[in-house]
Structure 1
Amino acid sequence: MNLSGRHVIVTGAGAGIGLGIARACRAAGAEVTGFDRSTEGCNRLEETGARFVQVDVTDLDGFEAAISEAHARMGRLDGMVNNAGVTIKVPFLEMTRDQMETLWTVNQRSVLVGCQAAGRIMAAAGRGAIVNLSSVHARATNPGHEGYAGTKAAIAAMTRAMAWSLGPEGVRVNAICPAMTRTEIVDEAMKDPTKDALFRSWTADGEVTTVDEIGTLAVFLLSDAGAALNGSEVVADRAMSALLDVFDVKGKKDG
């Protein structure tokens, strides 16, 4: 799990899972370029030793150009982590076209463009690894997440197809499917003892996955240690989706 001498791009790197992945990649020795549309996480990202670039992945042309520029600056691109995403939970019959478009553009189209732009660079070099952030919602979901679940399932399906498109070129493509993860928002919510107990009740070991744990998985998939995995979905949900009625329980307890 050594990434020394490698260059990795991480989208949505200013906070949450993206920051955890950037931090883990830096700890494994990689040079990291972190993309985020907000400058709020710039200092936190740069404290890890990563380079911050303000990029809005919904600007697909600008996003592709930023990948090319990061590659040109570093002279190589070994890893691409498509982490940027958005969650919109709304009653299905009330979902608007604008909400649908936001989900499709951020969660699906940007990942497709990110994989294509990075994939071209990596294929030309004959090496590389891409990690896409899907979700447990691609496998088991709740009412109100129809649009979100659809985009995350699309990421998982695209990942499987890309494994055969890019695998012969020396490029592996895998996905991580996290469940609830201890981002800044979740950590704040868990200060409420009731919510803390509820969140822990959804996992087999009573723990809630940290962003650093997701970061470690990303490093594994980016490194030579993950060489056998291509087109895989690593479900990081602490067995949440393995329990048949876990989401029914969630719905009853969480409204």
Structure 2
Amino acid sequence: MRLDGRHVIVTGAGAGIGLGIARACRAAGAEVTGFDKQIDGAAKLDQIGARFVQVDVTDLDAFEMAIAEAHGRAGRLDGMVNNAGVTIKVPFLEMTRDQMETLWTVNQRSVLVGCQAAGRIMADAGGGAIVNLSSVHARATNPGHEGYAGTKAAIAAMTRAMAWSLGPHGIRVNAICPAMTRTEIVDAAMQDPDKESLFRSWTADGAVTTVDEIGALAVFLLSDAGSALNGSEVVADRAMSALLDVFDVRRK
């Protein structure tokens, strides 16, 4: 599970899961370029020795150009992690067209463009690895997440298809499907003992996954240790979706 001498791009790297993945890739020896829309992430990435690039992945032309520039600067591109995404939870009958468009553009289209741009570079170089962040909502969801779940299921489906389209070029494409993860927002919510107890009740071992645990999974999939996996979905939900139970917005 080493990435020495390799260059990895991580989108949405300024905070949360993206920062955890960037940190894990750096610890594994990779050169990391972190993309984020918010400038706030620059200092955090600098602290771990990663390069920061401010880019909005919904500007598809700018996103593709940023990938090309990062490749040119490093002289290689071995790994691409499409992590940037948004969550919009709203009653289905109240969802607006703008909210739908935001979900599609950020969560689905940017991943498709990121994979294509990185895939072209990797194909010319003889191979690489791509990791897309899907979600447990791709397989088990609840009311209020119709749009979000659809985009995450699309990521899983695209990942399976791209495994065959890019596999002949030596490129592996896999997805990680996390459930609730201890991002800054979740950690803040867990300061409330009742919420912490609720969150822990959703998993078989009573733990809430950390961003560093998701980072370790990304490193595995990017490294030679994960060479047998292509087109796979790693469901990192601590068995949450394995439980036959009623779990939706009606539960308090």
TM-score normalised by the chain length of structure 1: 0.98
Cα distance in 2 between the residues matched to 1:173 and 1:118: 11
* 1:57-96 matched pairs, under 5 angstroms: 57-96=57-96
C-alpha displacement at 1:253, in angstroms?
Answer: 3.3
Cα distance in 2 between the residues matched to 1:56 and 1:123: 25
Q: For the Cα contact (< 8 Å) 1:202–1:250, is it kept in 2? A: no
C-alpha displacement at 1:244, in angstroms?
Answer: 1.2
Q: What is the total number of aligned residue pairs between the two structures?
A: 252
Q: 2:39 is matched with which residue?
A: 39
Q: 2:97 is matched with which residue?
A: 97
**Which residue identity does 1:142 align to in structure 2?**
N
1:130 aligns with 2:130: yes
Q: Deviations over 1:188-239 (max 9, x none)?
A: 0000000000000000000000000000000000000000000000000000
1:208 aligns with 2:208: yes
**Which residue identity does 1:216 align to in structure 2?**
A
**Which residue identity does 2:105 align to in structure 1?**
T
1:113 aligns with 2:110: no
**Which residue identity does 2:173 align to in structure 1?**
V
* 1:17-32 matched pairs, under 5 angstroms: 17-32=17-32
Q: For the Cα contact (< 8 Å) 2:221–2:227, is it kept in 1? A: yes
Identical-pair percentage: 86
C-alpha displacement at 1:249, in angstroms?
Answer: 3.8
Q: For the Cα contact (< 8 Å) 2:14–2:41, is it kept in 1? A: yes
Q: 2:236 is matched with which residue?
A: 236
Cα distance in 1 between the residues matched to 2:84 and 2:14: 10
Q: Runs of 4 or more off by more than 2 Å in structure 1?
A: 248-254
Q: 1:253 is matched with which residue?
A: 251
- Structure 1 stretches lacking a partner, 5+ long: none
Cα distance in 1 between the residues matched to 2:244 and 2:35: 37
SS in 2 for 1:9: strand
TM-score normalised by the chain length of structure 2: 0.99
